[in-house]
Amino acid sequence: MFRPTILKKNIPVYPPLTQTNTKPVLDIYKEQCFEKLDPEGWRRALLKFKSPTEIKTGDVIRVVYNTRAIPPFMGQIIGISRGGVEASVVLRNNITKLGVEMRIKIFSPLISRIDIVKKPLKRKPGRKHYFIKGTKLDVKDLEADLKKSRRKNKSF
């Protein structure tokens, strides 16, 4: 007949680990990417809510690149995607009566600066303005309008 032996086993009890105040790894990685791509912080200020330099849909901006191979592009913002380092804007302009749209990554190292040319007097409803395509609300040739307004202001 088999008889189990009764032995007392000592189970070691360890003290609880002290909790360290570290951030999640993904947050640390995002901060490193922001520091690398935007050391001055002006790109983040463009996307930050309630910032004086915040861009919104309906604003007209000009994107200037580092290289002369890519010409500056001016357009009205019809959509903003605020996805951290992958943030982008969709710009629309009519060049020689042809609608042109361009998606621009805000944190691209090819961009040297982004200028806010004009803010609308009255905002259109909605966060994405894709509904303006092909209607009377569609953007005009922004470069030509800017030149006209400069000439008009010089005459006064």
152 or 41: which leads in pLDDT: 41
For the stretch 69-122, pLDDT in tens is 999 999 999 999 998 999 999 999 988 888 899 999 999 999 999 999 989 888
Nearest partner of 104 among 94, 95, 96, 93, judged by Cα: 93
Domains of the chain: 25-150 (2.30.30.790)
Is 154's pLDDT higher than 80?
no
Burial class (CB in 10 A: 0-12, 13-18, 19+), 141: middle
- What residues pair up with 90 in beta bridges, in sequence order? 79, 103
- CB-based contacts of 113: which residues, under 8 Å, 6+ apart? 64
